[in-house]
Amino acid sequence: MAFPAPLASYAARTEKTRGRLYPEAESATRTPFQRDRDRVIHAVAFRRLKHKTQVFISHEGDHYRTRLTHSLEVAQIARTLARSLKLDEDLAETLALAHDLGHPPFGHTGEDVLVECMAPFDGFDHNAQTLRLLTKLERRHAEFDGLNLTWETLEGVVKHNGPLTGPLARKKEPLPAAIVEYAAAHDLWLDTYPSLEAQAAGIADDIAYNNHDVDDGLRAGLFDFAQARDLPLVGRAIRSAEARWPDAPRDILIAEAVSDLIGAMVEDVLAETRRRLAANPPGDADAVRRAKSAYCAFSPDMEKDLSGLRAFLHENMYRHYKVNRARSQAKRIIKSLFDLFFSEPETLPPEWRERYEGAGESGNEARLARVVCDYIAGMTDRYAIREYRRLLSVEFDG
């Protein structure tokens, strides 16, 4: 039996965790990061991911990715990267499993509508919503709201795409209120890069969604092999699969090509990350955080090819007329539900109405808007459709 290799000096270490906001006794059988992973898996928000859209709305087929299957694929890739780089696999897996918890129903369409609805009320951001779920909205413990995860996990959740403040931040926008509020009590070093485990989870997300969108798009007939053969990366993988198995069925060729693509991207990330680590060796995890650029990345050649692939998918998949029709329906559902609950809060379920009225701010529109947003963001696609039908007596055309 092969045992895990010793961790690298720059890996996150459970014995050096910065701990939890609310101190707890340590487990005799699990590390702090293992406990974080288990708490995420047992969260209600995690279970709901099985009926939340990735690209295709749930009624369009049972074989397309959902937020849950996507998160599991990200976790598998993140663990592979972490193991190869001698990082803490449990932390990388935890971040992969948690990274999409804050997404509302109907994929990015749902998020776009909530951003619009919440513009007058501190806005909406899915990463900030994930933090709200993990620190406030999930209720599974008697002593505190949220899951009381470690500093390293929460840091990775909000920063897996890079610093949020300071000169290294990619966006110079005001921080979401949820992140500002939490960081005031539990400083997450918002001006630095996250751990290498978080960087691995972040790039695993890119690998997973690019590849499964190619897979789902081909299987759904939104684009065909003839178009895909002209693409960088994808074209080579398809031609290679066809050359090796000329008589294989179409679905097998798709699976073989996507498998090769994932392998090629993982190997590219490992080679580029090792190159950067060798060029500027970090002594420990905090040296990774204080670096001037990310360590975990695609090579320039791979990034160029991926830019072409993303442009193709945007035009031929995300904006395909069939997807646009579903997006149009989803927009009406989310906007109608928000407007109804905001104008008639008495129609909210009792537990959500109590969150608004029990805060002693029953006349505060911002407070009401946030409660309505939290309620809608937590919905699955199918639940949002049912609420829309139930409250507005309109059939969803699926």
| CA-wise closest residue to 139 among 42, 49, 212 | 42
Q: Rounded CA gap, 173 and 188, in Å?
A: 18
Alpha helix locations (H) across 191-320?
196-219, 225-228, 234-244, 250-279, 285-289, 300-313
Q: Which residues contact 155 (CB under 8 A, 6 or more apart)?
A: 188, 189, 194, 195, 198
Residue whose token pair is 């470690």: 150
**54-63, 286-295, 352-361: the lowest-pLDDT one:** 54-63
pLDDT digits (tens, 9 = 90+) for 247-283: 999 889 888 999 999 999 999 999 999 999 999 999 9
Per cent of the chain over pLDDT 90 is 71
pLDDT digits (tens, 9 = 90+) for 36-88: 999 999 999 999 999 998 765 444 555 567 899 999 999 999 999 999 999 99
**DSSP labels, 79-94:** HHHHHHTT--HHHHHH
pLDDT digits (tens, 9 = 90+) for 51-65: 998 765 444 555 567
Q: Rounded CA gap, 174 and 329, in Å?
A: 31
Given a contact cutoff of 8 angstroms between Cβ atoms, the answer to whether 104 and 132 are in contact is no
pLDDT score for 288: 98
Residue whose token pair is 């998918």: 313
Token pair of 340 as six digits? 């109804």
Query: Rounded to the nearest 5°, which phi and psi values hold at 20?
Result: -110, 155
pLDDT score for 355: 86
Q: With cut-offs at 50, 70 and 90, classify the pLDDT of residue 220.
A: confident
Answer yes or no: is pLDDT of 221 > 90.
Answer: no
Q: DSSP state, 176? A: P
Q: Rounded CA gap, 150 and 243, in Å?
A: 49
Higher pLDDT, 78 or 229: 78
Q: Which residues contact 191 (CB under 8 A, 6 or more apart)?
A: 163, 164, 165, 166, 168, 169
Per cent of the chain over pLDDT 70 is 93
Q: Give the global pTM.
A: 0.92
Question: Which is it for the CA torsion 335, 340, 341, 343, positive or negative?
Answer: positive
Q: With cut-offs at 50, 70 and 90, classify the pLDDT of residue 4.
A: low
